[in-house]
Amino acid sequence: MSASKKRHHKPQALFWIALSFLVLAAFTGGASRIDTPGLVLLKPAAVLLCGLAAVTLRRSQMESYRWIFLGFGAIMVVSLLQLIPLPPVLWRSLPGRDELARVDTIAGISGAWRPLTLTPMNGWHAFTALFVPLAMLLLAVQLDRRDLQRLLPVVLVLAGISGLIGLLQVVGGGSESLYLYRGTNNGTAAGLFANRNHAALLLAMMFPMLAAWAMTGNDGKDRTRHWLRSATAVAAGVVLLPMILVTGSRSGLLLCVPGLLAAVGMFAYWSPDHGVVGRHRRLIVAGGVMTIGALLLGLLSLYLSKGDAIRRLTSTSSGSEFRVDIWTTSLKLFWKYFPVGSGIGSFVEAYQVIEPYYQLNATFRNHAHLDFLEIGICLGVPGVVILIGGAIAYVRRSYRVWTARADTGDTIRFARMASIAIAMIAAASIVDYPMRTPFMMCIAVLLSLWLAQTDQPMATTSHRRHRDAAEN
C-alpha cells in the first residue's frame, strides 16, 4: 500500500461508533455517584453497544488481547457472584455480618436470603456500571491498529474541552449552570468531572499523549508535518500548565511533573531524525520549553488569584489528616470483612458501621481515597488477587515495551505513552479514586489496548474478513 493510501485510510464504521460512545461517556460519565442523571442514558447505551459489538466480535480478536479479557472477565464474575442470594446459615457465617444478623433477628426476618454484598441495590448499580468500559473494550478490539490510534486525538480534544470548561467554571465564579453534576465543589475547575482531582489527572496525562500524537506517522519524509505537529503539541503543553494550576489539585500538580518529563523524553528521542546532534538539539529545545513552562507556572501562582494548587501544596491543611483518618479506619474495615469483603458498592454503608465519632458530621465518606485499599475492602481476597495479577501483567508488558528498540514506529510510541499514563492513574489512585468514573474507565481501556497492541500485526478490515472466513 502506498504512503498516500495509508495516509487516507478511511476509518471503519465501528470507529465512529466507538468515538460517539467515548464522547457520550465524557459528558455523562464524569462522576462516581450511582445517582448521576447521565447514567440513565449512558448505561443503557453501553448495554446495547455490548450486544452490537458481540455480534461482530471474532475469537481471534479476543485472543489477541486475551489477558485484558481474562482480567475484565474476572472482575465481572467476582462482582456478579457477590449479588447471588445466599442461604441464611451461610450468610451469617461470613465475617462482619454480626451486626446485621442481630438486626434481622430483632426485625423477625432472620430467615431472609441475602447476597454477599451488604448493599444489594448499590451492588447492582456497580455491576451494571462495568458495562460502560466493557462496551468500549468490545468496540475498540475490533478496530485495526490505525483506527485504534485515531482515538487518541479524540481523547486529547475531550481533555482539552474539559480544561476549557474548568477555566470557565472558575471565571464564572462558581455558577451552577457551568457544572455537569450536582455535588461538585462550586468555584473549582472540575471540567467534565465532578471531582477536580480527576480533571487535573486527565490534563496531566495529556503531556505524554501529546508527545505520542506529535510523533505519530512521522517517518522522516514529511518534515513539515512533523514540525507542525511538534509545535502544536508544545504549544498545547504550555497551555496545560495554567489549566492544571487553576484546578487547585495538589495531586494533579504533582503528577504533571512526571507527565511533562515523559513528554520531553519522548519528544527528544523518538523522532525521525536519529542523529546524535539532532537528538541533543531537540533535548535542549524541549528542556528549554519545560523551563519556560515552569517559570510560567511560578508566575501564575504568584499573580493569578487561582493558584490554589501551589497554595494547597505548600500549606498545612487538614486534607492530609483527613485522608490518614479515613485510611486508618478503612484498614480496620478491610480486616473486619476479610477475606470475602463487604461486597461491591458497599463501602459507604460498611464504613458507617465503624465510623469513629470524631468523624461524624454533615457529610459522608464516599470512598476510601485509596482505591487499592477500597478494592480489598469490597471484593476481599479475590479483588486483591485480580489487582496483583493486573499489576504483574502491566509490569511485564511495560518491561517488554521499554526494552524494545526505540525507533520501531508508532505502535511502540503508543505503548510507551500508555505505560506512562497507566502509571499516572495508579499513582493518583493512591490518594483518590479516578477509576470510579465511567469516562476514566473508558480511557483506561484504550490505554490498556494501546499498551497491549505491540504484538499485534497491522490488519485492515479486508484482511480480517479473509482471516475470519478461513477460521470459520
CB 143 within 8 A of CB 362: no
CA nearest neighbour of 261 among 293, 231, 302, 225: 293
At residue 245, the pLDDT reads 81
CA nearest neighbour of 368 among 406, 421, 327: 327
DSSP bridge partners of 114: 86
Q: What is the pLDDT of residues 428-449, one digit of tens each?
A: 999 999 999 999 999 999 999 9
Residue 219 burial (CB count, 10 A) = 12
3-state SS class at 30: coil
At residue 317, the pLDDT reads 54
260 grid coordinates: 511533562
Query: What average pLDDT does the structure give for the chain?
Result: 82
The CA–CA distances, whole Å, from 144 to 133, 181, 249, 460, 461 equal: 19, 35, 37, 6, 7
Residue 310 burial (CB count, 10 A) = 18
pTM: 0.87
3-state SS class at 347: helix
Which position has the grid cell 495479577?
389
pLDDT band at 178 (very low <50, low <70, confident <90, very high): confident
Higher pLDDT, residue 311 or 224:
224
Higher pLDDT, residue 190 or 455:
190
At residue 402, the pLDDT reads 86
> Packing angle between helix 223-247 and helix 276-303, nearest 10 degrees?
30
Our CA angle for 190, 262, 165, nearest 5°, is 20
What share of residues in the chain are helix, strand, coil (percent, to 5)?
A: 70, 0, 30
| Residue 71: exposure state from Cβ atoms within 10 A (0-12, 13-18, ≥19) | middle
CB 339 within 8 A of CB 380: yes
**Distance from C-alpha of 187 to C-alpha of 363, rounded to nearest angstrom:** 19
pLDDT at residue 472 is higher than 50: no
pLDDT band at 293 (very low <50, low <70, confident <90, very high): low
pLDDT at residue 298 is higher than 90: no
Higher pLDDT, residue 29 or 106:
29
At residue 102, the pLDDT reads 87
Identify the weakest region by mean pLDDT among 14-18, 214-218, 230-234, 285-289. Answer: 285-289
Q: What is the pLDDT of residues 106-159, one digit of tens each?
A: 888 878 899 999 999 999 999 999 999 999 999 999 998 899 999 999 999 999
DSSP result, 163-200: HHHHHHHHHTTS-GGG-SSTT--TTS--TTSSSHHHHH
